[in-house]
Structure 1
């Protein structure tokens, strides 16, 4: 953080953390349409870039949205992914995975005009079929916009810690 950021007050911090708890509850109960409609802004950029683990002397720039990515979605693409889950044709999610999300180290900063920059860590514990278990750790960089009594995410950058994952697919939201 090179620019001094202004932390939000405790009431806004609590409200943002409550937003994240509600988001997780929607995912864990399979309410993906509600998540998209209620918590995601129509101008969303949902991005999981592909990072390389590099030596310190390797000074190449970080990935941009123009580079290859695991996810590089707008609202329409998220909507397609959500609707596909309701078709019964996503064989990798039939039966659905059991996933638990653990969100921590939530830091929220005032970005002005009722917008907030939020950094958090996420642990995703996924059980699939009978014997498949995977654990993912990642960082999230979100931009939230206050809408009514809540928030909507309009930027989400997902930073998966593992360069190579043992999971057979990443067909879940985080």
Structure 2
């Protein structure tokens, strides 16, 4: 059998335990994995060399699920772990118009309303009296258009 195809039973076991302990603090995980390695090394020193003997040792230690469950139970409730917020992407559209646009439009409308109100009050204050009428008088010697209406009768020549 080639060593490339041989499965590292102990390595796989420890990786699986580590994966299942990912919710525990790093120091606690390292301590537990170090304890498991110490038990495995002791078993090797006592003569467990074959894969089947190592599988027996690992079964006595417990499945990765059981070890993780016991570690979580022993640790008790953990404070929530800090997870940095993802970097903000472009701001999502809020579905509305920006506030500065609304403020600008409101300001322009207010100026027109106030200006129109002031103009209306100024006209009302004058009393609505019409402006004095002006009379158009032909100057003597000025040509007179025959189709122009006479606003003021032309003076009659005296004899």
Same-fold status (TM-score > 0.5): no
TM-score by length of 2: 0.20
TM-score by length of 1: 0.19
Greater relative contact order, per chain length (Cα 8 Å cut-off, separation 6+): 1
Structure with the higher fraction of residues in helix conformation:
2
For the pair shown, which has the larger CA radius of gyration, 1 or 2?
Answer: 2
Structure with the higher fraction of residues in strand conformation:
1
